[in-house]
Structure formats: structure tokens, C-alpha cells
Amino acid sequence: MALFNANILMRELRIASGLTQEQVAEGICARQTISAIETGNRKPDIFIFANVLKKLNVNPAHYCSDIANDNEIYIYNKLNLINKTLNVFDYDGIKTQIETL
């Protein structure tokens, strides 16, 4: 499973397609909503996310089951750090990382 940030994905796909925020928003939501999502000030709901992906010729089914929220990304990053620490046998570092969870 690949985790990703829906806000960044929407922005990168829109830019790659050459469409403006207004063009992407048309028929889905307000341009300001797309802007707020792309800047991380708002999370896209599933309706907006799926419809924006469709407009960008991307199958939303490839992404909808892998959307990670901020807490999941935090835990994923912490687990990666713990794994790296395990690889160098830094047990004090592992203990510190586990305590912060």
C-alpha cells in the first residue's frame, strides 16, 4: 500500500495536466475550494477528490483506498524512523521514538 497526501496529489496532477484551478473546479466546487485543498488548508471530501481525479483522467479507484490522514502519515513516518534506528542497533533511539508515539 502506498500512502499519499491527497492535497499534494491533486495539485501535482492538476499542474501536470496543464489545467487551472478554475478549470478543475468547474462543475465540482468553487475555485477557492481547490485552492484551499492544494495549500493544505482543507482536506478534500471523497466527492471532490473523485471528481477532480476523473476530470484529470485518473481513475479514482487507484487512490481512494490509500488516502492517509495526518495521524496515519505521522505514525508511518515514526515507524520508518524506528526501522532505520533498528538497522543501526540504536536501542536508546528506538526507546525514545516509541515513547513519543
Residues 9-48 have pLDDT tens digits of 899 999 999 999 999 999 999 999 999 999 989 988 888 9
Do 57 and 74 fall into the same domain?
no
Per-residue pLDDT at 97: 72
| More confident: 14 or 101 | 14
Question: How many structural domains does the chain have?
Answer: 2
Do 21 and 60 fall into the same domain?
yes
- The CATH number linked to 51 is 1.10.260.40
In this prediction, residue 72 has a pLDDT band, given cuts at 50, 70 and 90, of low
| More confident: 72 or 15 | 15
Task: Dig out the grid coordinates for 2 from the structure.
Answer: 502506498
This prediction's pTM? 0.61
Do 10 and 58 fall into the same domain?
yes
With respect to residue 24, please indicate whether it lies within any of the assigned structural domains: yes
Average of pLDDT values for 54-72? 74
Per-residue pLDDT at 70: 67
Do 14 and 47 fall into the same domain?
yes
Phi/psi of residue 23, nearest 5 degrees = -65, -40
Phi/psi of residue 4, nearest 5 degrees = -150, 165
Contacts of 73 (CB under 8 A, 6+ apart): 3, 5
Do 85 and 45 fall into the same domain?
no
Q: Other CB atoms closer than 10 Å to residue 19's CB: what's the count?
A: 16
Contacts of 27 (CB under 8 A, 6+ apart): 51
Do 60 and 26 fall into the same domain?
yes
Task: Tell me the residue range of the domain where 83 lies.
Answer: 70-100
